[in-house]
Structure 1
């Protein structure tokens, strides 16, 4: 492996940054250690997530693999889906492409001013689908708090699965929450057997919220697309916002719309935002050799 080289793209969605490897053209046996080496911001390329483009498994345009910076594989990433959607739309010349992911298929289309819209599918809202380790009949606000007894700093999050598990705490001021401290504790809380993405949301108006997220396996991030989708669903379920809103994250704004329910179940979630190509290059072979050693 020491002599091998691989082309990469560096992309971002609102500052949530990715290293993209096209394994359709340059196969690579990707291990946790290699993923960590590439994602390392000091000795590697540096990214929040490592994304692979692979041959489709059941009729889509491509399969998207996702690994967090800790090397662990995850099921979904909305910002990455927009980036891969942009690449596949350009590559195929189609008006719509289907991206297969471990969480299911995602459809990407072009929106106004160069933005990309992805259909993130329908949310999962039952306690055992999120999943939680205890049964809660109402997942709009579960019994979970952090802070002094009787005067918690955060409490009663809404929980949603949008391809991965999320807990959203509604607070008066997202900047007043030390998410770097509380995020890791809550991510690993016993209620979340698969860990969880932890977000704090501040409702500015019925069509606008602010959001900060501690991402499972990646830490604080400038933007998390699935968190923006989950927060929109949680806000609508608590009657705090309308179904189409602007979600302002540290990296910028997303437009998220939770479509009305149908006779087949919950409505799908549409997310629209930028997908930027920052640069491209070739991986240093020592990253692959050192990780495999």
Structure 2
């Protein structure tokens, strides 16, 4: 195992949400390495995302040849090795990675990805900005009450923006610090089995501008940003305020969410930046 050659891994950040990306197309170096790993992709994801032995990222994403008319397929893992159907910040990073690093023959600025949540379309805007047409955003339950040990009965909106989110409005984002244990409880609440849900808190800053933070499944903590969480918070806020263009400030950066009344697939825009390319020597997997 220690004889394996290093594998190139790109670390990227989408509004502070960090990802390790690998070119896993058919003729890539990854294919030979994967056949020799002796570990599943989920196990390898935990190593790559590890704070000590890896790149200290929130997620791990393998970019594969596109199928069924898509430009690329993706295989996404959280830092604990679990999978997620969709990640908005990862989608922006994936688009810029494919456009600038993989260099598709057509050099397309608009890319179609096949994800666990279906089609995700991303458009390269320049200046590290990427716009993603997200999966359908919808209410599963406009109001759901969950009993918790730490905070008693709590009321949320349950929405799906590619992945499920419990959304709760709070007076200011500082409150989220005291709600962390409650978020950990409801994230895997018995009433939400088997999938559970991410938990997103938001507070209105001004008209059309909210602050939000998400406790993410698979990371099991608040993250600096969550694209599907930003859309989830914006969806709930939009229903209450009738605003269709919403700025969502997350701890790691600003995201823009736009709802078109004729389309249930909102647009999300934000930055995607390269942190660095790493040569992972794989000795840690032996």
Q: Structure 2 length as normaliser, TM-score? A: 0.88
Where does residue 185 of structure 2 map in the other structure? 185
For 2:168 and 2:147, how far apart are their aligned partners in 1? 9
Matched, 1:172 2:187: no
Where does residue 144 of structure 2 map in the other structure? 142
More strand by share: 2
Cα drift, residue 2 of structure 1: 3.2
Q: CA-atom RMSD, angstroms?
A: 1.8
Paired residue secondary structure (1:144): strand
For 1:38 and 1:112, how far apart are their aligned partners in 2? 29
Q: Which runs of 4+ in 1 moved over 6 A?
A: none
For 2:128 and 2:53, how far apart are their aligned partners in 1? 33
Cα drift, residue 121 of structure 1: 2.5
Residues 1-293 of structure 1: pairs in structure 2 closer than 5 A: 1-4=1-4, 5-24=6-25, 25=28, 26-27=30-31, 28=34, 30-90=40-100, 91-92=103-104, 93-111=107-125, 113-126=127-140, 139-144=141-146, 146=148, 155-177=154-176, 178-193=178-193, 194-218=195-219, 219-237=221-239, 239-240=240-241, 242-261=243-262, 267-289=264-286
Paired residue secondary structure (1:156): strand
- Contact 1:38-1:287 within 8 A present in 2 as well: no
Change (3 A) 1:224 1:45: same
Paired residue secondary structure (2:145): coil
Paired residue secondary structure (1:242): coil
For 2:241 and 2:218, how far apart are their aligned partners in 1? 29
Deviations 1:118-153 (A, max 9, x none): 000212433xxxxxxxxxxxx22222355555xx6x
Give the count of matched residue pairs: 268
- Contact 2:8-2:277 within 8 A present in 1 as well: yes
Deviations 1:182-231 (A, max 9, x none): 22111111121101100111012231000011001112100000100111
- Contact 1:205-1:241 within 8 A present in 2 as well: no
- Contact 1:159-1:234 within 8 A present in 2 as well: no
Please list every run of 5 or more consecutive structure 1 residues that lacks an aligned counterpart in the other structure.
Answer: 127-138
Cα drift, residue 57 of structure 1: 2.4
Deviations 1:240-289 (A, max 9, x none): 35111100000010001122135xxxx21100000000100211212332
For 2:275 and 2:11, how far apart are their aligned partners in 1? 5
- Contact 1:208-1:241 within 8 A present in 2 as well: no
